[in-house]
């Protein structure tokens, strides 16, 4: 079944979406911590802005996960 | 391998396929309507000092208004008015999303596991955002908001606005589907104890986060539209 193997590799490659999102989350959290250390009184605003950014990034990871799930279960089911 | 399908589960009444999610959603709506009738009857007996059921109701409704006001900013009169208009609609959306998804905890399939349901919710949120923006700024003000910072960006900004319902729909659908798939795989691998521990996250906390996001996003779009 070489086709199934190719599908598995393709589904695994969508993990790269999580890779990019991880880097982005690390950068944004690092800057949020910097901002908190500089201005602890602005923690509410910083937290909510960080949250919005996190949601946007998480969407990309979820899209990757969705495509990965679909390629395993839908394409894999057809082989 | 567990069965996973992105196609909506069929549910036939006679010859008509109405879809499983519609039935589940109407069950949830029936429960919510019963709860609302109880709340409406008891509102007449509410007193000045809240306690018990009244305190819970005031906590939820006041929380929704505070949430909308804090996201839109209460400094300007326009954003304050937008928060007043949007808060009940956002609370409705959030209650619906939470209840139709958390029903997975009771062994029923969640209604938001169906792209039709989430797309309908996304379109509701889209209409709510635009109605709020038009009521606060007027049609002319809403149209002029697209031409900032310059007139050339108007097509891109209109396209960005039109994509929002689909973005919200796919986000919620994919999150619920992913949670469901992970739980199905867990049940297949370790049917005892492990699903109970991880189910607390995937069936309750994850749902609460998605509900929060689904309430936050329309408020963000309203904030962009009325600023």
Q: Which ipTM did the prediction report?
A: 0.71
Contacts of B181 in chain A (CB under 8 A): 69, 73
**B157 lies within 8 A of chain A by CB:** no
Q: Among B1, B70, B177, whose Cβ lies nearest the Cβ of A69?
A: B177
Average pLDDT, consecutive stretches of 10 residues, N- to C-terminus, chain A (79 residues): 84 87 94 94 86 84 84 79
Give the pair of three-digit tokens for residue B14. Answer: 């006679």
Q: Is-cis flag, bond preceding B149, omega within 30?
A: yes
- Nearest-angstrom CA–CA distance, B219 and A46: 18
- Nearest-angstrom CA–CA distance, B184 and B3: 9
- Nearest-angstrom CA–CA distance, B68 and B64: 6
Compute the count of residue pairs across chains A and B with CB atoms less than 8 Å apart: 36
The chain A residue lying nearest B209, using CA atoms, is: A55
Helix axes A43-70, B206-226, angle to 10 degrees: 110
Q: Which long-range contacts (CB under 8 A, 24 or more apart) does B70-79 make?
A: B70/A48, B71/A48, B71/B216, B71/B219, B71/B220, B71/B223, B72/B219, B72/B222, B72/B223, B72/B226, B73/B223, B78/B136, B78/B137, B78/B226, B79/B223, B79/B226, B79/B227
Cβ–Cβ of A59/B167 closer than 8 Å? Answer: yes
To the nearest whole Å, the CA of A36 is away from the closest chain B CA by 20
Query: pTM of the predicted model, to two decimals?
Result: 0.84
Counting as low any pLDDT under 50, the low residues of chain B are none
Cβ–Cβ of B6/A59 closer than 8 Å? Answer: no
Distances, alpha carbon B218 to alpha carbons A37, A49, A52, in Å: 31, 15, 12
Contacts of A21 in chain B (CB under 8 A): none
∠ CA B172-B104-B128 to the nearest 5 degrees?
A: 35
Contacts of A69 in chain B (CB under 8 A): 4, 177-178, 181
Cβ–Cβ of B171/A70 closer than 8 Å? Answer: no
Q: Among A62, A73, A76, whose Cβ lies nearest the Cβ of B175?
A: A62
Question: Which residues of A fall below an 8 Å CB-CB distance to B?
Answer: 48, 51-52, 55, 59, 62-63, 65-66, 69-70, 73-74, 76
Cβ–Cβ of A69/B178 closer than 8 Å? Answer: yes
Which of A47, A65, A71, A78 would you mutate first to test chain B, the one with the most B CBs within 10 A? A65
Contacts of A1 in chain B (CB under 8 A): none
To the nearest whole Å, the CA of A78 is away from the closest chain B CA by 12
pLDDT score recorded for residue A1: 63
Cβ–Cβ of B171/A74 closer than 8 Å? Answer: no
Cβ–Cβ of A55/B6 closer than 8 Å? Answer: no
**B182 lies within 8 A of chain A by CB:** no
């Amino acid at each position: 079944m070489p086709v199934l193997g190719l599908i598995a590799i393709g589904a695994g490659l969508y993990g790269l979406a999580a890779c990019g999102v991880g880097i982005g989350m690390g950068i944004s959290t690092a800057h949020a911590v910097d901002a908190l250390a500089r201005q602890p009184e602005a923690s509410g605003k910083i937290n909510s802005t960080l949250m919005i950014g996190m949601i946007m990034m998480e969407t990309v990871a979820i899209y990757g996960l969705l495509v990965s799930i679909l390629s395993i279960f839908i394409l894999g089911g057809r082989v | 391998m567990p069965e996973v399908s992105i196609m909506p589960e069929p549910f036939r009444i006679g010859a008509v396929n109405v879809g499983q999610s519609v039935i589940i959603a109407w069950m949830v709506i029936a429960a919510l309507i019963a709860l609302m009738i109880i709340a409406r009857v008891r509102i007449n007996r509410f007193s000045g000092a809240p306690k018990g059921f009244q305190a819970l109701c005031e906590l939820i409704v006041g929380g929704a208004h505070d949430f909308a006001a804090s996201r839109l900013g209460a400094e300007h009169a326009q954003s304050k008015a937008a928060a007043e208009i949007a808060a009940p609609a956002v609370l409705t959306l959030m209650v619906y999303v939470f209840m139709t998804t958390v029903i997975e905890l009771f062994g029923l399939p969640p209604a938001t596991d169906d792209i039709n349901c989430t797309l309908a919710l996304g379109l509701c949120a889209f209409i709510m955002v635009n109605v709020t923006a038009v009521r606060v700024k007027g049609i002319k003000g809403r149209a002029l908001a697209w031409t900032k910072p310059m007139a050339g960006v108007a097509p891109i900004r209109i396209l960005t606005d039109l994509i929002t319902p689909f973005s919200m729909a796919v986000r919620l659908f994919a999150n619920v589907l992913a949670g469901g798939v992970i739980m199905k795989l867990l049940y297949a691998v370790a049917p005892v104890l492990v699903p109970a521990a991880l189910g607390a996250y995937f069936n309750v906390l994850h749902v609460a986060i998605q509900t929060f996001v689904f309430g936050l996003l329309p408020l963000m779009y309203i904030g962009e539209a009325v600023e």
